[in-house]
Amino acid sequence: MIVAEQKPVAEILRMIDGYRRILVVGCGTCVTVCMAGGEKEAGILASLIRMAWAREGRLSPLIDVSEATVERQCEWEFLGDIAEKVAASDAVLSMGCGAGVQAMARMFEGKVVLPALNTKFIGMPERQGLWTELCAGCGDCVLDRTGGICPIARCSKSLLNGPCGGSQNGKCEVSKDIDCAWQLIFDRMKSLGRLEALGTVLPPKDWFKNRDGGPRKVVREDMLL
């Protein structure tokens, strides 16, 4: 899933300064699971904004900070539900990931849509309250050759053919809290009895499948209408 975290409240308050009617929009998918921008968090942020503004003496009948949550901000069909509320606001504060913010900005033309979150990465919850990056969305998956552990996302240097000289006791030289991805790959391939596969040198990665040619698209001809 996509993992995000909320921006500091002070930054959000600066961002919405000058607007009077704010709609805080939560998203019911990834950011709900990573506890950054779901219904609960939208309620909390809206409450904080109201109290911050009340403290500044800014509350007036013209001020309106309310919240709404959609199932998925990154799909048009879910955004129609909040169209009326959006229309009644001066600015929309999105608690979705970067895709959610942009989907709303496109859907609600002429409306200011602001991000309340910093979108971090594709990953998973390691345990309650801790999320780790697992996939860099590089566009050319090598997991078949690396025992299901991604060297692009999890090796600090994104190396393709074994660890660098900084790997010490299974840890990365960047930090003792980071596992060396290549140590993990080696251990996993060993347990799979596939160590010999690591003898095959991986060719330089085809980065044209990553950031080349602007925003990437995925097309399924059979699904197009």
- Binding residues vs another protein (CB under 8 A): 8-10, 13, 21-22, 40, 43-44, 46-48, 50-55, 59, 61, 63-67
Helices (H), 88-166: 98-107, 151-154
Shortest gap between Cβ of 63 and another protein (angstroms)?
A: 7
Instruction: Decide whether 66 or 156 has the Cβ nearer to another protein.
Output: 66
Both tokens of residue 9? 């409240």
Helix (H, G, I), strand (E, B) or coil at 26: strand
Shortest gap between Cβ of 77 and another protein (angstroms)?
A: 24
Instruction: Decide whether 13 or 105 has the Cβ nearer to another protein.
Output: 13
Both tokens of residue 159? 């190396």
Instruction: Decide whether 62 or 224 has the Cβ nearer to another protein.
Output: 62
Shortest gap between Cβ of 26 and another protein (angstroms)?
A: 11
The bridge status of strand 21-27 relative to strand 91-94 is parallel
CA atoms within 13 A on the CB side of 150: 15
Both tokens of residue 45? 């942020």
Shortest gap between Cβ of 75 and another protein (angstroms)?
A: 24
